[in-house]
Structure 1
Amino acid sequence: MRNAMKLPNGFVVTTDNAGGIGEKQADVVYAPNHVVSYFAARVALLEQWAANAQVQSVIIHNFSGEAAWQAYMDGVQRLFDEVNLGQILIIGSSETNMELLQSAMSVTMIGSSKEIEDCDVTWFIYGQPCVGSEVLENAKNFADLKKLKEAIGQGWVKKVWPVGSKGIQSEVGALFADDTIVVISELDVGKSAGPSTVVLLGVQRESVELARQYFGDEFRDLVV
């Protein structure tokens, strides 16, 4: 996965950040701090899964002031609770010498990867692209990480490719290493998917019908 740093001994580092989104008066988008960290953690976690890695620890970089720290911690833990990851070590640092006008933070995850056997898969689009305030209003249209984790654990979702700010079209081109591919979809394939509200999934061929039933209406064929 291109957004994951693979280190020796199987360690994988992933990260995501948010700027101008939070509880400060000058922020471009207002959102509770625990929601901001939740979605930053969502992206970093998906990048871990894309690299076939399991999270071991988390680092929060907080530039929004000491008062924001606990809410940022709570948002990350909320995500872990939702996908049944349990208690994972969360550490970090807060900028307390300088007070910024806008919120800024990032979440970095360190995980350990495992080798998996390569296999033929059929690719699908899961979720709808949302960005900015849409993220707070359309949660029912997102790729559901709890469902995704269960499907990975059951062994029939073999590959994961998160879609972010570059949109579905760009990520499909990167996935297949072919920028000439044109995605045909009812979705806006050029629109940012914000905090990975869309995920491209590689499903083993014999489990395609199971996947359609399991993921529901937000699960679409990847047509190119």
Structure 2
Amino acid sequence: MKTIKHRDLTLIDINDKQTLVISCDSSGGIGEKKDDIIKTTPEVVGYFGAQVSMMEILSFGARPISVIDTLSVEMESTGRRIIKGIKEALEPLEFDIENILTGSSEENFPVSVTGVGITVIGIINKEDFIFPKTKSGLIAALVGVPKVGDEILKNRTDIINIEKLLKLKEKDYIKEILPVGSKGILHEFEEMAKTNNLEAILEKHINKDIYKSAGPSTCVIVSLEKEKFENLKLETPLPVEKIGEFI
């Protein structure tokens, strides 16, 4: 059984035909409890926690087969409300969420801070899987806006979600999609180049803060052909900006 790391994903060959793909994310100090730093509902915590891990799996091209929530809170009522948010985030996928979702909660001790971990397991069939690949000559575009904390709560209209990601996946001129998280735009742009043995050439003028955290993956970097950039802008209901190219 071979196991390799690909960016934030773990890939495990389980037989000659299939590979498991594992993604995880966590959050702490965000919720309604006494010592939470960012105050928001448990439903919002669950929604964005599920979004991060699931978008990693979907961007890579794996089919989700299990979602695990590890809740460092009591089930009643915080845990149930977090799970409600998880289910809301996963609605666009139209699968049997009741059977695909499992997890655990903290029932032994009272907690004053909200803590959540989400793991998503996906699977790929080797015979028909096309490994996402960026080639020299393609450009990198940012879709969505990097946001974190209270910024997300104020306005969600300009950030990516699972439904919008699935729309991007339908565009055959997009060669690779990489969600941006807490390490920022520049880090993920360079990571996309590195894993494809390319050099990342950054645009001289970019309207977004390339070092800022994008929190729960509020934007993604896509690689595509230069000629299709205007198509992407016209077809995507989110801010789109060229951030560089690959050589």
- Map residues 79-98 of structure 1 onto 2, 5 A cutoff: 79-81=89-91, 83-88=92-97, 89-98=100-109
Q: What corresponds to 2:168 in structure 1? A: 151
SS in 2 for 1:46: helix
Instruction: State the one-letter code of the partner of 2:43.
Output: H
Q: What corresponds to 1:26 in structure 2? A: 35
- Map residues 1-224 of structure 1 onto 2, 5 A cutoff: 1-8=6-13, 9-67=18-76, 68-81=78-91, 83-88=92-97, 89-114=100-125, 115-116=129-130, 118=133, 120=135, 121-177=138-194, 182=202, 184-204=205-225, 207-216=228-237, 218-223=239-244
Contact 1:152 1:158 in 2 (8 A): no
CA drift at 1:182: 4.3
* Structure 2: runs of 5 or more not aligned: 1-5
Q: CA RMSD in A?
A: 2.2
SS in 2 for 1:129: coil
Structure 1 length as normaliser, TM-score?
0.90
Q: Which has the larger radius of gyration?
A: 2
Q: Distance in 2 between matches of 1:41 and 1:20?
A: 16
Instruction: State the one-letter code of the partner of 2:86.
Output: V
Structure 2 length as normaliser, TM-score?
0.82
Report sequence identity in percent: 28
SS in 2 for 1:155: coil
CA drift at 1:170: 1.6
* Number of equivalences: 223
